[in-house]
Structure 1
Amino acid sequence: MIVHDFSNKKSVLNQFISEMRDVSIQKDSMRFRKNIERIGEILSYEMSKTLNYKSQLVRTPLGEKEMRVPVNDLVVCSILRAALPFHNGILNFFDKAENAFISAFRHHPDGDDDFEVIVKYLASPSIENKTLILTDPMLATGKTLENVLKAFEKHGTPKQIHILSIIGAKPGIEYIKPIFPENTHLWIAAVDDTLNSRGYIVPGLGDAGDLAFGEKL
């Protein structure tokens, strides 16, 4: 796996991540969602530099100009529900991409720290020989991405996989490296060192889904 970690790079990403982490700012759910969308746009731009391009002649009112434009068949799949603003940010840059959505949630069968990730819903076009973009805002243990990859087995084999995340934990990144193809790219805005006993990123930012859309039962 090829990891593109922007944690230590000077950019406006740091401002958006700081606001998402700050307990006094993250109470503003609209701002929280907007920052997720902005980060989706920035990571999409960075990812676009690795895509395939072709030359295309464009006619202007005053002449013609040869331009290089991307030619990849993209499928953007977001893991519900925190990834919805992320998905919008990506579509702002890749407006011709196909779309997929998958539900994945943690289930604690005994009420303790141990959990399993359950996938119950997947709506997707064929991903055969296409570029699959998986969006998971919080890459914690990596088990969600593992189960999402398994769920896609019946939808074809992509020629390339890109994973876009906002914050990840080092253990989770290490966990998914052998699971995904070697040429998979991970684009991540920030990386934290540890997980707590329940598998949440520390210091992280809390539950991204709740902060974006409100608490659930």
Structure 2
Amino acid sequence: MRLHVADHPLVTHKLSVLRNRDTPAVTFRALVEELVTLLAYEATRNVHVTPVDIQTPVAATTGVTLADPKPLVVPILRAGLGMLEGMVKLVPSAEVGFLGMVRNEETLQPTTYAERLPEDLSNRQCFVLDPMLATGGSLSAAIEFLFQRGAVDVTAICILAAPEGIAAVERLTEGRDVTLVLGAVDDHLNEHGYIVPGLGDAGDRLYGLV
């Protein structure tokens, strides 16, 4: 597993505002979108491309275009939806699938309740969006789901992570081609499985308590 933690003052600044419990939902949503675009820049560093001949106003040259099949972006419902716009702004030609996973708050184990993905992901690069990497169970299950459909490599983009979650993903995806791109690594998980200091429940802060 490859790990990249953003080290940029703009990322740290935006994260600081996100963490503030008094930041309103409308500002929170806008900052998540901006953060994801910054993180996606690093996450797509190894995106597959193919050469293409182009004609500039001065001369002919060779550039690149995204290779087929196009990347697949997979937000984990519901909180991952808040990250989608920031990702597709950077990669507008990417396709989008959806995966609904929920964590049992007593056992902390993930279950899949919905999915809208191609049956065959052969040769596809997949980018999973999930704001918080806490216990790592849901993200690991989502990554394994994509590999079982034929994905060749999976990159997960998370705004915050706990060390326990990083270790769990590394353990549970051993032997897979996985990259984690993170905005920051926090101190630990509390007894309820929440990241400390964290920013609270990302889904609730994005969309409310309904």
Give TM-score, length-normalised by structure 1: 0.88
The Cα offsets for residues 64-115 of structure 1, whole Å up to 9 and x where unpaired, read as 332233326311111111111211111111111111111111224xxxx533
The 1:115/1:48 distance shift into structure 2, 3 A limit, reads closer
Q: For residues 86 and 104 of structure 1, what CA distance do their matches in structure 2 show?
A: 16
Segments of 4+ in structure 1 off by > 4 A?
none
1:168 positional shift:
0.4
Measure the CA separation in 2 of the matches of 1:189 and 1:40. Answer: 9
State the alpha-carbon separation in 2 of the partners of residues 201 and 209 from structure 1: 14
Distance in 1 separating the partners of 2:47 and 2:94: 13
* Residue in structure 2 matched with residue 3 of structure 1 by the alignment: 3
Q: 1:95 aligned to 92, 102, 106, which one? A: 92
What is the aligned partner in structure 2 of residue 67 from structure 1?
63
User: Residue in 1 aligned with 2:80?
Assistant: 83
Letter in 2 for 1:142: G
Asked whether the 8 Å contact 1:86–1:135 carries over to 2, the reply is yes
Residue 52 (structure 1) aligned with residue 48 (structure 2): yes
CA displacement, residues 108-143 of structure 1 (integer Å, 9 cap, x when unaligned): 4xxxx5333221101001311110111111000001
Question: What is the SS of the residue equivalent to 1:161?
Answer: strand
- Report the Cα distance in structure 2 between the residues aligned to 1:172 and 1:59, rounded to whole angstroms: 48
Give the drift of 1:151: 3.6
Name the CA distance, whole Å, in 2 between partners of 1:107 and 1:10.
34
| CA-CA distance at 1:174 after TM superposition | 0.2
- Aligned residue number for residue 158 of structure 1: 151
The residue number in structure 2 matching 1:114 is 107
For structure 2, the 5+ residue unaligned runs are none
Q: Deviations over 1:148-194 (max 9, x none)?
A: 2344465x221111111000000010011022244311100111120
Q: 2:169 aligns with which of 149, 165, 176?
A: 176
| Identity %, equivalent residues | 28
* Alpha-carbon distance in 2 for matches of 1:129, 1:51: 12
Structure 1 gap ranges (5+): none
Query: Please, which of 3, 10, 18 is the counterpart of residue 12 of structure 1?
Result: 10
Count of residue correspondences: 207
> SS of 2:185's equivalent?
strand
Displacement of 1:31 after TM fit? 1.2
Q: Does 1:33 align with 2:26?
A: no
Q: Secondary structure at the match of 2:172?
A: coil
Query: Could you say what the CA RMSD is over the residues aligned between the two structures, in angstroms?
Result: 1.8
Taking the aligned partners of 1:149 and 1:188, their CA distance within structure 2 comes to 16
CA distance in 1, matches of 2:207, 2:78: 8
Q: Which residue identity does 2:15 align to in structure 1?
A: I
Give the Cα separation in 1 of the matches to 2:8 and 2:126. 28
For 2:26 and 2:78, the matched residues in 1 are separated by: 15
Q: Which amino acid aligns with 1:101?
A: F
Deviation string, structure 1 residues 22-67 (Cα, Å, up to 9, x no partner): 1222xx1111111111111111111222223333222345543322
SS of the residue corresponding to residue 95 of structure 1 reads coil
